[in-house]
């Protein structure tokens, strides 16, 4: 024995033992023994060493067969005849196999590794016996298929021999001796079962081939369907990628168009703002030209008047070309002034109607353009204390308005010390007191301190708000104090530069100027004679004339011709524009005001974009 192999299958398990024989000087592998363990409980043993292995595997079966054989030898001759018939039937069993069927070959080759018997760990050798004994034992057991067990019996195939032995014990030798047809009947049953087994094996092989063919077919169909689905998914993925790319391209194109449109609009607005600024400059130049023309016209009128009445104007030959408008309340029949009194107009020219004391917030403000028809002066004062010191040395009764815009830098210290707010209020009260003393005929204009930084809820801005409210409440009943509020500048941070402190040079500064001028105009329209009366009183005090004003005395006779009186007379206040006090707010806007409003709107639109 060379090798032992164990094969497992769906229907059966096979134990194959192969050996090597030398024949004609050549080694050949032969199947010594094959044992088939069927799943339905049947055992089939085949091979050249069938008898020797059967003796070892089924010793009880061997004993029963020998007893049966001996009994039959001792019986009548009919038993021998039956045995001959049995041998004849058994020999013909191989011829009964249908053509085309496949039997389990006893010459199956196996290349598995050699194994040993687990009982004694020594290789098993095929037992030898007499040829007659082997032949009888082979005929009795080799093609034996158990007809005594149901295929569904759950017992192990190894218990088959016990069942066979039990069956054999139930059969008494007298039956075989008395019934000659028993052997023939058994032989036919064995042949029938063997033929059925071969048919079953062939059917199983056919079914296995058909099943394999069906599986291959299903596998091919599945692979084909899988490829189809894969192609569809790939196609859908490509379409989705293409659609996404097209959408992204469309969105990017639309965004680029919108950006180009907004850029063009911004450029158009910028050009419009530049155009408006140029128009503002031109309007200012036109205004200056008109003022110059008016001055020249007045000088010509005065020269003609002097030529017509040289006696009445002999003492006025020293009047400068930039003399202000002739006051209609002053009579032309004044007595001749002495040389000392003639110097008074020069002193009045040195006085300033509007004075501004401010910090860096007013740096971009042109005060001369702000008040084109009046003499102005701007003094840079970073803190309240510096402005107070400058006011101590100033003294000008001819000043009509003293504009104060300081305190922002002083309040900046209140971020770390809350008591700085009270210190600023005390300093402001001292500043206003000095302004009233230095400019007794002036209206003190207090400009609201603007917030600082980008956080409206910061401690500094809260202190600034508290300071402004305190100042407004402190001077709300003082007729000599005018408080200017900056509502838009306190809310919109777009009107400031990036530092959040200084105003934008165009919109922010223009709005600051507009707030101050609007407040002053409101006062002058509410009290039309306020400003002119103050100037007249100052002129009379400078000239030493104690005559009461025209509003307190009867009108004086003007002996000049009507045409000259009309030329030199100021028929309206400097900004009333033929409107009464009640009609002032309903008057048409001046061109430069419209331009500034438009510029402010354009600035807001640009910031929004």
The pLDDT confidence band at residue 559, using thresholds 50, 70 and 90, is very low
- Domain limits, the chain: 3-211, 352-548+576-609
DSSP 8-class letter at 371? S
- Tell me how crowded residue 242 is: count the other CB atoms within 10 A of its CB: 10
CB 398 within 8 A of CB 537: no
CB 99 within 8 A of CB 200: no
For residue 31, the cross-strand partners are 18
pLDDT score at 157: 42
User: Residue with structure tokens 């510096």?
Assistant: 386
The Cα 215–Cα 209 span in angstroms is: 10
pLDDT score at 434: 92
Instruction: Quick: pLDDT tens for 563-579.
Output: 444 444 433 333 334 44
290 or 534, greater pLDDT:
290
The Cα 85–Cα 140 span in angstroms is: 13
Which residues fall within 8 angstroms of residue 49, CB to CB, at 6 or more apart?
Answer: 17, 32, 33, 126, 127
Three-state DSSP state, 315: helix
Judge whether residue 22 has pLDDT over 90.
no
pLDDT score at 593: 59
User: Residue with structure tokens 């922002």?
Assistant: 408
pTM attached to this predicted model:
0.36
> Which range is least confidently modeled, 164-178, 228-242, 289-303, 425-439?
164-178
Instruction: Quick: pLDDT tens for 168-192.
Output: 444 444 444 445 567 777 887 887 8
pLDDT score at 55: 66
CB 489 within 8 A of CB 495: yes
> Which range is least confidently modeled, 2-6, 136-140, 523-527?
136-140
Q: Decide if domain 352-548+576-609 falls under CATH 3.40.50.1110.
A: yes
**Considering Cα of 507, then 513, then 516, then 517, what sign does the dihedral take?**
negative
13 or 230, greater pLDDT:
230
Tokens of 520: 């002053």
- Tell me how crowded residue 519 is: count the other CB atoms within 10 A of its CB: 16
Is 236 exposed, middle or buried (CB count within 10 Å of its CB: 0-12, 13-18, 19+)? exposed
138 or 551, greater pLDDT:
138
Length of the chain as a residue count: 609
> Pairing between strand 26-38 and 43-46?
antiparallel
The Cα 397–Cα 439 span in angstroms is: 5
């Amino acid at each position: 024995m060379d090798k032992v192999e164990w094969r497992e299958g769906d229907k059966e398990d096979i134990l194959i033992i192969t050996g090597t024989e030398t024949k004609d000087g050549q080694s050949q592998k032969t199947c010594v023994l094959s044992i088939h363990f069927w799943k339905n409980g049947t055992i089939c043993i085949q091979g050249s060493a069938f008898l020797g292995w059967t003796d070892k595997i089924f010793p009880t079966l061997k004993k029963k067969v020998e007893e049966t054989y001996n009994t039959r030898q001792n019986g009548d001759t009919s038993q021998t005849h039956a045995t001959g018939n049995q041998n004849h039937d058994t020999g013909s069993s191989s011829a009964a196999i249908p053509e085309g069927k496949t039997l389990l070959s006893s010459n199956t080759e196996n290349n598995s590794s050699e194994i040993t018997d687990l009982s004694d760990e020594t290789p098993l050798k095929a037992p030898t016996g007499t040829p007659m004994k082997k032949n009888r034992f082979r005929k009795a057991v080799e093609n034996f298929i158990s007809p005594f067990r149901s295929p569904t019996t759950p017992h192990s195939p190894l218990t088959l021999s016990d069942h066979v032995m039990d069956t054999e014990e139930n059969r008494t030798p007298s039956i075989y001796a008395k019934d000659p047809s028993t052997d023939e009947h058994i032989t036919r049953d064995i042949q029938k079962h063997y033929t059925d087994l071969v048919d079953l094996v062939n059917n199983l092989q056919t079914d296995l081939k058909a099943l394999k063919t069906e599986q291959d077919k299903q596998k091919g169909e599945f692979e084909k369907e899988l490829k189809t689905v894969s192609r569809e998914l790939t196609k859908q993925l490509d379409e989705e990628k293409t659609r996404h790319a097209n959408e992204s391209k469309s969105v990017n194109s639309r965004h680029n168009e919108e950006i180009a449109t907004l850029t063009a609009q911004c450029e158009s607005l910028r050009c419009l703002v530049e155009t408006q600024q140029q128009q503002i400059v031109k309007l200012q130049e036109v205004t200056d030209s008109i003022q110059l023309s008016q001055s020249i016209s007045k000088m010509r009128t005065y020269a003609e008047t002097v030529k017509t009445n040289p006696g009445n104007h002999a003492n006025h030959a020293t009047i400068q070309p930039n003399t202000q408008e002739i006051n209609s309340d002053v009579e032309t029949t004044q007595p001749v002034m002495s040389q000392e009194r003639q110097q008074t107009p020069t002193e009045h020219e040195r006085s300033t109607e509007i004075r501004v004391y401010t910090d860096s917030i007013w740096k971009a403000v042109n005060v001369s353009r702000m008040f084109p028809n009046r003499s102005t002066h701007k003094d840079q004062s970073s803190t309240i204390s510096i402005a107070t010191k400058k006011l101590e040395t100033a003294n000008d009764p001819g000043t009509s308005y003293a504009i104060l815009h300081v305190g922002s830098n002083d309040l900046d210290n209140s971020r770390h010390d809350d008591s700085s707010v009270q210190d600023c209020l005390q300093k402001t009260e001292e500043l206003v007191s000095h302004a009233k003393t230095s400019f007794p005929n002036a209206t003190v204009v207090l400009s609201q301190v603007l917030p600082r930084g980008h956080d409206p809820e910061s401690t500094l801005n809260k202190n600034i708000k508290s300071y402004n409210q305190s100042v407004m409440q402190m001077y709300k009943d003082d007729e000599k104090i005018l408080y200017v509020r900056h509502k838009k500048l306190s809310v919109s941070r777009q009107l400031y530069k990036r530092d959040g402190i200084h105003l934008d040079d165009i919109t922010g500064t223009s709005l600051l100027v507009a707030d101050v001028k609007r407040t002053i105009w409101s006062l002058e329209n509410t009290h039309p004679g306020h400003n002119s009366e103050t100037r007249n009183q100052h002129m009379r005090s400078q000239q030493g004339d104690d005559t009461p004003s025209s509003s307190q005395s009867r009108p004086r006779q003007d002996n000049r011709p009507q045409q000259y009186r009309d030329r030199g007379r100021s028929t309206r206040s400097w900004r009333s524009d033929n409107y009464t006090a009640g009609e002032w707010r309903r008057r048409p806007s001046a061109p430069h005001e419209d331009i500034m409003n438009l510029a402010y709107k354009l600035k807001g639109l640009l910031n929004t974009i």
